[in-house]
Amino acid sequence: MLLWRVRRWVTVAVAAAALGMGGVTAAHAADQPEVTYAGSVSDDLGILQINARSAADIKTITAHLVSYASQTEVAEIGTKDFRLFSGSRQDGSWRTRKPLKLPKFGSYRIDVDVTDADGGHVLRQSAGDFAYYVVAKFGALTVDRAAIDREHRDVRVEGTLYGRWPTRQVKPLAARQVEINVDYWTQTTVTTDARGHFTATVRLDAAAPVQAVFTMDGGTPTVLYGESEPVQIGVDQIPTRFTSTVSSTDIDFGQPVAVNVKVEQKTADGWVPLAGRSGGVLFGPDDAQTDVVGRFTTADDGTFTMDYTPWQGGYFQLALDTSDDPFLQAGTGTSDVVHVHRASRFTAFTAARSDTGQVHAEGLIDFSDGWMPGRINVHIQYSPDGVTWSTLTTVEASWGGTGNDFAADLDESGAGYYRAVFDADDNFRSATSQTVFVPAST
């Protein structure tokens, strides 16, 4: 029966918090006064709260506390014992000016008698429950370490359990059981000493909050549930690193590239190989554009090699999976940038002297691997001997229906050799057209 009463009080306390602390409802006209709530203040159990409303000002409030066990009245609280806590006298919340003093702990029925200024009257029996109990309170927990590591996983916890009496007196609770929770699961239970003090040692395998919890343990007097503020314990992780090399930083489209990687962990003796660890590899030009290369597992010397044929330039992105070992840092790494060059070639080039003496050059350039530069700059070059070349002009090729065509009229009048050149960049190979000899003007 006692446990049922306490559970009922918890429901009442929640309602008290919502109604008492959150204010009262808007005024509501009625012929007779109405009692909308009666109960304990959830965080101050010795205080009685009555919520009531009426069309006229409420003049008197009398509360009667009745024992559930004996069905006898144990206390009468009159108007002079209340103060208006919030709202108005037509729709308000009244609280006792000071905590009540009752002969026994327990849960009591509340009967409320209300009269308003117009003579309206209501007697509401069983308007609510008054919970008169000691509530468990904890002092701040102390721990002997803020973080664990692989060799030091035990954490010593100390604290003090207090009881807050309905009269607001706070005293240590001796010989009471306290649960020590790790990540909200009970790992051990200890008993408080004469000063309410307790100590315990818990073992952590990962970062987690540590908390002391009191649940009703059958002691006298009955003490309601309480919990300490959790203390977060972290993990001192072992640093890891990647070192890598690529077989080439410049490859043709369709050509594979190999990445050779070594994974290490930092110890008191320096960096040593990390064997038998797995992870994943991506490839791309940035974090937003990546392709999955695959997963790896390191050899005894901490190394692994992977081959990949990229369709665009980028770098290998390396990540270590440490989900099964919270003491190991989830390291990441990147390789050197690999440039993927797509093919380019001139499919036509001609140069001839016009009637005005100028040389007219034109041609077509093609990109056969599916990509095309944003701007196709073609250099028209001249050489008197076919060995030493100089650029006469640069023109932009554009799509002309059958290919990327370009043309230029040159003022060079002497005999010599002409050609077109496209320069390589990070994404395309260079290309040079055939060489055309143009004789001097006659």
* Per-residue pLDDT, 288: 77
How many residues make up the chain in this entry? Answer: 442
* Per-residue pLDDT, 330: 92
Strand order in the sheet with 44-53: 73-77, 58-67, 106-116, 121-132, 34-41, 44-53, 91-96, 82-87
Both tokens of 14, joined, read 């929640």
Strands 73-77 and 44-53: unpaired
Cβ atoms of 84 and 52 closer than 8 Å: no
If one counts every other C-beta atom within 10 angstroms of the C-beta of residue 386, the result is: 11
Cα gap 382→369, rounded to integer Å? 29
Cβ atoms of 249 and 275 closer than 8 Å: no
Cβ atoms of 214 and 226 closer than 8 Å: yes
* Per-residue pLDDT, 441: 79
What residues are paired with 64 via a beta bridge? 76, 111
Cα gap 314→282, rounded to integer Å? 10
pTM for the full model? Answer: 0.69
* Per-residue pLDDT, 402: 81
Query: Each residue's pLDDT tens digit in the chain (442 positions)?
Result: 333 333 334 333 433 333 333 333 333 444 789 999 999 999 999 999 999 999 999 999 999 999 998 999 999 999 999 999 999 999 999 999 999 999 999 999 999 999 999 999 999 999 999 999 999 999 999 999 999 999 999 999 999 999 999 999 999 999 999 999 999 999 999 999 999 999 999 999 999 999 999 998 889 999 999 999 999 999 999 999 999 999 999 999 999 999 999 999 999 999 999 999 999 999 999 877 889 999 999 999 999 999 999 999 999 999 999 999 999 999 999 999 999 999 999 999 999 998 888 899 999 999 988 888 989 999 999 999 999 999 999 999 999 888 899 999 997 667 899 999 999 998 999 999 999 999 987 6
* Per-residue pLDDT, 413: 66
Cα gap 436→415, rounded to integer Å? 11
* Per-residue pLDDT, 34: 97
